[in-house]
Structure 1
Amino acid sequence: MTPVTSFAGKRVAVFGLGASGLVSAQALVAGGADVAVWDDHRPGREKAAALGLKLEDLVTADLTGYDSLILSPGVPLTHPYPHWVVVKAQAAGVEIIGDIELFVRERAHIAPDAPLIAITGTNGKSTTTALVAHLYQTFGYEVEVGGNIGTPILALNPPAKGRVHVIECSSFQIDLAPSLNPSFGLLLNITVDHLDRHGTMEHYAEIKERLVAKADVAIIGVDDDICAGIAQRLRGQGRAIVPISILHPAIPDGIVLEGTRLVRKSGGQASTIADLAGIPSLRGTHNGQNAAAAVAALGPHGFELELVQEGLRSFPGLAHRMEEIGRRGKVLYINDSKATNADAAEKALQSLDDIYWILGGRAKEGGIGPLEPLFPKVAKAYLIGEAAEPFAKVIGEAIPYEFCGTIERAVDSATRDAEASTTPSPIVLLSPACASFDQFPNFEKRGDKFREVVLAKLAEPPKT
């Protein structure tokens, strides 16, 4: 845990008692703050009481006596409308921040030069976070990994010289971290997402930009117009920028992907960093972008090519992100449950061929219309969840499809058809292009179900 000593003697309210809220309250108490906690829901309050935290009903409390309100990133700050506790804190003149901000202030207080690498983007941020951490471990560093990727940031060991913190940040967390100033800030991409919480693309992009705006070095993917504009704006302000690109290998400076090779461009010169061919965990051009960003985040270590190449080759990848489950005869099964929107699913479809595609769930804005150019790569689609009917209308007669309803039936049908195909390497791919909330609490549970069903299938003898 990171005790928040920079808040010693302050009176702090914590609202939202999920994992990060509970850890934030404990870290503040450990640092000497006077802390009161509350949640709209009884289970959260019961967990807090069991941990010995002081409950105070913030509905009736006078917030003018508090120095700060620590808000869970899951609680609406601005859209679709501010939560009642936000309105109340603003009326009382109380700052509203989150756990990332607490960590940033503690770092400034006890170890301002401690390495902090913060990563965001609409897609790819979890893989990039894990890869950055893995590369630093390859170089022998003590590495702490957390944030949006799973472990709350304040549950990690405190910042210290030689200890690298690699933190994934969602837009919700960045919105509550006004002082965020990482050593390396990584902004991978920005596409439509979370507009229910941010209102407009302009607001969403402005929040994402904050992660790199104060970074010592800003590493920015320049393949979408919004991020390219952010890079240009920060460069104009004199900030240190490292562009990364998979679409524009001719850029004069930065790290690009040429075929399967990562190439560093500098002053008109080009040098190969590594070849990603044959690394299953980094399959696809989207992972080329992730790898380029991760190598850039190594700073001077990125020029130590032997260790860089070793780290890339040994990266195990993440569950639910182009995760190879196994083979049954000639059929390969891939779990890409993290593809909760069309942009993420596009990456999987682009990197594979002869696909037996399992998709559906709760559709997001835009549906699968943007994926139509990739339909020729799909042998057949297997539709599950709420989106089955509207997705079938989009598919039309472009490719065969089957209504399956559940992952179990989809795996059975896709296996049957893939085994019957005359092609040498068919792939059964779960890449839903949807949220999971119609059938599962999160994409992890959806991917776990797919893995469970596939592993049972692999235990059966393949048909001959």
Structure 2
Amino acid sequence: MIPVSLFKDATVAVFGLGGSGLATCAALKAGGARVMAWDDNPASVAKAEAAGYETADLNTLDWTGLAAFVLTPGVPLTHPAPHWTVGKAALAGVAIIGDIELFCRERDAHAPAAGFVAITGTNGKSTTTALISHILAKSGHDAQMGGNIGTAILSLEPPGTGRTHVIECSSFQIDLTPSIDPSVGICLNVTPDHLDRHGTLDGYAAVKERLIAGVPADGTAVIGIDDKHCQAMADRAERAGRRVVRLSIRNPVSDGLCLDGADIVRIKAGAAVFRFSIAGVGSLRGSHNAQNAMAAYAACEALGLSPEAIVAAMRSFPGLAHRLEQVGRIGKVLFVNDSKATNADSTEKALAAFSRIYWIAGGKPKEGGITPLARYFPRIAKTYLIGAAAEEFAATLGSSPHVIAGTLDQAVAMAAADAAADGAPDPVVLLSPACASYDQFPNFEIRGKAFRDLVLALPGLEPIGPDA
């Protein structure tokens, strides 16, 4: 745990008592603060009380005595309307911050030279975060991984000499972190997402850019430049005097990393200084993972690792659950869990990675549906539609072979049987829903676990990875 000492003897309110909220309460209490915890869910309040935390109804609390207000990132700060607590904090003049802001303040106060890599982007940030942590750990470094990837940042070990925090940051978290100042800041890409929480795409991109703008003069900004928002972001960062490493999977770069055929090439001052390939690394399949690998290379290089050590560690990366996760094989048929693909942009990366696909898609649809994926339909042998999006997606698929399976268990059974009968050399049964999970599953993790369990129960399956 990271004790938050900067609010010693002060009173801090915390709203949102999930995993990160309870970790925040613990960290503040350990640092000597008085914590007033609250949640809209009475069960969460009861859980906090059972854990020994003081609770207080923030509707009736006198806010004028608070030193700060820590808000869970899942609660609206600005759009579509501010949460009621936001208005109360604003009226009382109380700063509204998040748990990553508490980490940044502690690091700045006690260990400002400690390594801090912060990763954002619409897609790829979890894989990049895990890959950087894996490379550092394999190279003998103390890597503390957390943030949006699932481990509350304040539950990690404190910043210190020889320790690097590798933190995935969502736009919601950045919005609550005005002091964010990573030694290496990464923005992979910006595509439409969470517009209900940020109003417009420009507003969403501006929040992402705050992470890059916080990189100090002696730090490194690593930016994927294959979209217009990130191109502009990189240019502004460079004009502001920051060291910028550009990444592109589409075009050459003069200083950064790009593709040359199947190779990733590190370019400095217009010249190639190192090249490597991730071909054959199943956990880094697809061009989107080439960008993730580029970002991880750039970050670890900035932290002082040698090119050879970076690439050697990269080759042993096991991948992440629910992100192009190879579950197993039955004969020639590969089963892949990409439940994290909750929008069309994420699913595009999966469809581009395979050539003969039995695709399981659907759930709670997002704006635009799967229309942007039409150019990949020729790769799809058949689609198995589940959930609320089934009828809409069926209309978009048109003459592309598909069936409304309804539920995930039906879809897995149908797809496995059809793929087994395929004469192609490498058929893939792919769960990549292009949808939120909330119509049939509480979250994408539970959806992915359900797929994994169904696949592992198939006769003749040879598991891959941790289930092997």
Could you tell me the TM-score, scaled by structure 1's length? 0.97
Matches within 5 A, 1:244-393: 244-248=247-251, 250-300=252-302, 304-393=306-395
Q: Deviations over 1:83-112 (max 9, x none)?
A: 111001101100000000000000011101
Structure 1 residue 196, shift from structure 2 partner: 1.2
Name the SS of the counterpart of 1:28 in structure 2: helix
Q: Deviations over 1:415-449 (max 9, x none)?
A: 12111112111110001000000000110101101
Task: Letter of the 2:182 partner, please give it.
Answer: P
Matched with 1:46 is 46
Mapped partners of 2:412, 2:353: distance in 1:
21
Matched with 1:20 is 20
Matched with 1:455 is 456
Matched with 1:71 is 71
Name the SS of the counterpart of 2:457 in structure 1: helix
Matched with 1:225 is 228
2:242 to 208, 219, 239: 239
What residue ranges of structure 1 are gaps of 5+ in the alignment?
Answer: none
Matched with 2:442 is 441
Matched with 1:425 is 426
Matched with 1:175 is 175
Change (3 A) 1:448 1:111: same
Structure 1 residue 56, shift from structure 2 partner: 1.0
Is it true that 1:205 corresponds to 2:211 in the alignment?
no
Q: Is the 8 A contact 2:360 2:386 kept in 1?
A: yes
Mapped partners of 1:121, 1:217: distance in 2:
16
Task: Letter of the 2:178 partner, please give it.
Answer: P
Q: Is the 8 A contact 1:78 1:197 kept in 2?
A: yes
Matched with 2:95 is 95
Is it true that 1:111 corresponds to 2:107 in the alignment?
no
Task: Letter of the 2:325 partner, please give it.
Answer: E
Mapped partners of 1:246, 1:163: distance in 2:
31
| Aligned-CA RMSD value | 1.2
Q: Deviations over 1:383-439 (max 9, x none)?
A: 000000000111111x10011011111111111211111211111000100000000
Task: Letter of the 1:228 partner, please give it.
Answer: Q
Could you tell me the TM-score, scaled by structure 2's length? 0.96
Mapped partners of 1:421, 1:39: distance in 2:
52
Mapped partners of 1:18, 1:301: distance in 2:
33
Structure 1 residue 301, shift from structure 2 partner: 5.8
Matched with 1:154 is 154
Mapped partners of 1:319, 1:271: distance in 2:
34
Mapped partners of 1:265, 1:52: distance in 2:
54
Task: Letter of the 1:271 partner, please give it.
Answer: V
What residue ranges of structure 2 are gaps of 5+ in the alignment?
Answer: 463-468
Mapped partners of 1:102, 1:341: distance in 2:
31
Task: Letter of the 2:432 partner, please give it.
Answer: S
Mapped partners of 1:385, 1:347: distance in 2:
22
Q: Is the 8 A contact 2:221 2:244 kept in 1?
A: yes
Structure 1 residue 306, shift from structure 2 partner: 2.5
Name the SS of the counterpart of 1:432 in structure 2: coil
Mapped partners of 1:419, 1:142: distance in 2:
45
Change (3 A) 1:269 1:451: same
Q: Is the 8 A contact 1:274 1:305 kept in 2?
A: no
Mapped partners of 2:279, 2:429: distance in 1:
21
Is it true that 1:413 corresponds to 2:414 in the alignment?
yes
Q: Is the 8 A contact 2:267 2:274 kept in 1?
A: no
